[in-house]
Copies of this chain bind each other. A is one copy, B any other.
Amino acid sequence: MHQAKLDVLGIGHAIVDVLANTTEDFLTGHGIAKGAMTLVDGFRAETLGRTMANSVEASGGSAANTMVGIASLGGSAGFIGKVNDDRLGKVFAEEIRKLGVLFDTPPAEGSTATASCHILITPDGQRSMNTFLGCASALVDADMAAAKVASANILFVEGYLWDTPGAKAAIRQAIAHAKAASRKVAFTLSDSFCVGRWRAEFKDLLARDIDILFANEDEAKALFETEQFDEAFQAIRKWGKTAAITRSALGSVIVEDGHVHLLNAEPVRHVIDTTGAGDQYAAGFLFGYARRLPLNICGRLAGLAAAEVISHVGPRPLVSLKTLAAHAGLI
């Protein structure tokens, strides 16, 4: 086992968000379900892209956002994700590299375009999302080289990837490489509907592979099929490894062996957009964990990163998390 070069290596969907303000009439005219997240095909994504006026592009994707947060904290992060060699793919690659994340996954072969999420914002502030997963699921074994996976202290995998079955074998390969190199495997449940679709497989992963689990309250309750948070909490304690469970304004709960930490939510003057809260929470926690900081400090870094990202629009930090954490006396 060699000394790791990276703090964390993330695997996830590489997605570019395309955002535009629009009217109620535009939604009606294009048959878009207001306020919902709808999966769309490439043709539909292309049509929307052509008709949306004054759109802005911003790279996203859950694990990618987390890696950007780790870099913002001064950590070293890498990302494995699939884009095409098209315009949006270049936007994604340039942005994530500019933000300090190592990203060298070869572009997908074939004509399937880079994943995009066309987001229409109506005057009432609601976001109607149209997600085209494109080539994001085209991850192959070759993208998960053993040496690459072993180069990071922690491998971080997003649960969303289970929705694109093609990638699953490659991800299992990456997990095997991490285990072989005695690295930790971290996993986020991503979404309570995603948990509903893949409960049995996620529980199997939990039993065999996962060392560090991220979940919000709804996801944890969905995984263990209970309405009582305390019951999900007991199940996670019984599991016995490391878990960080977020509870929005109720703060978060961190569990490791016999230890339990109860952390308050960081105060936020105005909550503007909760997109990315879980991604940045994971960033703060993983950065602290990779650096072997005490568990309660990992939790406070997580809360701080989440508080930054919900105080503005967009799922990635707008200011240096390293500076914020230093001001708070955490690093």
Contact = CB atoms under 8 A, between A and B. Distances in A.
Contact of A260 (B237, B250, B263): B237
Of the candidates A229, A233, A260, the one having the most CB atoms from chain B within 10 angstroms of its own CB is A260
Size bin of chain A's contact surface: 10 to 19
Interface string A254-269: 0000101111100000
A296 interface: yes
A171 interface: no
Contacts of A261: 230, 233-234
A262 B251 contact: no
A257 to B, nearest CB: 10
A282 interface: no
B229 A264 contact: yes
A233 B262 contact: yes
A264 B253 CA distance: 13
Nearest to A296: B230
A294 to B, nearest CB: 11
Nearest to A232: B262
A114 to B, nearest CB: 42
How many copies of the shown chain assemble into the complex? 2
A299 B261 CA distance: 19
Contacts of A260: 233, 237, 260
Contact of A250 (B234, B251, B296, B299): B251
Contacts of A263: 230
A264 B261 CA distance: 17
Nearest to A253: B262
Interface string A6-50: 000000000000000000000000000000000000000000000
19 contacts: A229-B262, A229-B264, A230-B261, A230-B262, A230-B263, A230-B264, A230-B296, A230-B299, A233-B260, A233-B261, A233-B262, A234-B261, A237-B260, A250-B250, A250-B251, A253-B262, A258-B258, A260-B260, A262-B262
- Please name the 7 residue pairs, one residue from A and one from B, whose CB atoms are nearest each other, closest first: A260-B260, A230-B261, A230-B262, A233-B262, A250-B250, A230-B296, A230-B263
Contacts of A237: 260
Interface in A230-246: 230, 233-234, 237
Contacts of A253: 262
A264 B230 CA distance: 8
Contacts of A250: 250-251
A158 B263 CA distance: 29
Interface in A196-223: none
Contacts of A233: 260-262
A230 B255 CA distance: 13
Given A250-B251, A262-B262, 8 more contacts: A230-B261, A230-B263, A230-B264, A230-B296, A237-B260, A250-B250, A253-B262, A260-B260
Nearest to A299: B230
Nearest to A245: B262
Interface in A251-304: 251, 253, 258, 260-264, 296, 299
Nearest to A263: B230
Contacts of A251: 250
